[in-house]
Structure 1
C-alpha cells in the first residue's frame, strides 16, 4: 500500500503542469466556458422558437375564417382558393390561396401554414353551401404518398398488388415486407392514436379512420342524423379534414370503409384481370 501511494505521488508530481502551462490552460478553459454560455442556451431555445405557432390553433382558424368571409362578401361570393384537378382527393380540392387574402383581409399567413414552413395546409369544406376553413395534415399525406409510391412500383414490377390479408368490403392490408418497408401507421389528428393504412382493389392507399370514427361518433347514433359519408362528420366537427380517406358508413353500428367514391385517380389499371393476385 505504501509503495502504491509513493508511486501515485511521483506520478502526480510529474503530471503537474508548469505555471506557464497552467496560465495557458486557464485561458483555454475560460474561452470554452464563454463559448458554452453563448451556444448552449441557443441550442436549447432554437427548437422551442421553431415550435412556436406551429401547433393547430383555433385562434388562427378563426382569423382565417373571418378573412375568407370578408373576401367572399367583397368579391360577390367568390372564394380565395387555388385551382386543383378534378381527381384530387376530396378534402384537398380547395386549398386556400393566401395571396388573395394577405394583407387586405388577413394581416399575415398563420405560422403553422405550409406557406410559412408549417405542416398544415388550410383548406375549405362545404364550398357550395357554407364554406368552412379546416386544416389538412401534410405529414399524414406525405406518409400515405410514400406507401402509394412503393405500391405503384411493386405493381409495375410484379403485375400484382402487395396484399397481406383481405379486409371487409374488398379492402386489403398492405404487405410491407414485400415493399421492403417497415409497417406504416399515421398519428390521428383527431384522437392521437395511430391508424393503419388500407389498400382498395385498384391499389389506391388510404388511411383507415374506423378507429377514430368508432371513438368519436355518438354512442347509439341514429344513422339518419349522421352524414351519409362519415368523413363529413370528422371534417365538420373538428379542426381537421381526414387525409386520403375512403368514404365511410355505418354497418350494424360499426364504421366501415367503402371502395367506391374515393376521389383519387386510379394508380393501377382497373382492367387488369389479375389485379387480386396475392403478393408472395
Structure 2
C-alpha cells in the first residue's frame, strides 16, 4: 500500500540495470516516482516519459534514491555536475542505494545539511531480483527514519535488515559482497576445472546446489545475468572488483587483507564462460 506521505516527490538517480526496475516497481504500486539519468530518455522504452531533464527532476524532488555506479558519480549527483543537494529546494531525504565505501558514506553526514535525512540502503539480489521486486536491503540510519520510509522499500524488496546507524548498512553490504565475490571467483574456477575433467556444467551445478558447496551464484547460475561474464571495467563483474575495494577501504586497522586482495585479482582475471551444449551420452 502506498504511504501517502511519499506518494510524490520520489526520484531515482541512476536508472540502469538496478535503478530502472526499482523505478518501475515504485510506479507500478502507486508511487509517482521519476527518474534521472545521464543517458537520454529514448534509451528507456516504456519508462521514457518518467525520465526527466535535470531541472524538472530537481524541482519535484523530496526523496532521492541514488543508484549510480560509484563514489565519483554519487558526488556528481549530490554535489557536482547535478548538485541536487543545492538545486532541489524541497529535498528532505537522501537514500544511498549504490554500493560504496562505508568510509565515504559515513562522511556524507558532515557534507549534507542536517535538515536532510540520510539513510544508506544498498541492496542485493542482482537485476533479476530488482525486476521481481524481491531485493534484499541492508539499512543504516535512525530507526524512526527507516520506519517512515519502509513503504518505499517494501515495494522494491522482500528482505529488510536494519544493521545500525547511518553507514552500517553499507558496511554490511560490502562484507556481503566480499563473500559474493569469493563465491563468484571459486564457482567459476571449479566450473572451468570440471570442463577439463569432462563433468557437465549442469550436473555439477545441480550437485553444488544440494551439497556443501552451495552458494548464491551457483544456485542462480542461469538466472543471474552476469554469471558467465568476463571482467570489463563497466560491467557487473567490473563493479564487483570495485565492491571488494570498498570492503578493503573499510577493513579494520591491522586486518590481514591478503585473501580479499587475491579475490579481487581473481575476479579481474575472469574470462567470458560460453554455454556448452550438453553431452549426447
| Structure number with larger C-alpha Rg | 1
Q: Does TM-score exceed 0.5, indicating one fold? A: no
TM-score (norm 2): 0.25
TM-score (norm 1): 0.25
- Structure (1 or 2) with the greater helix fraction: 2
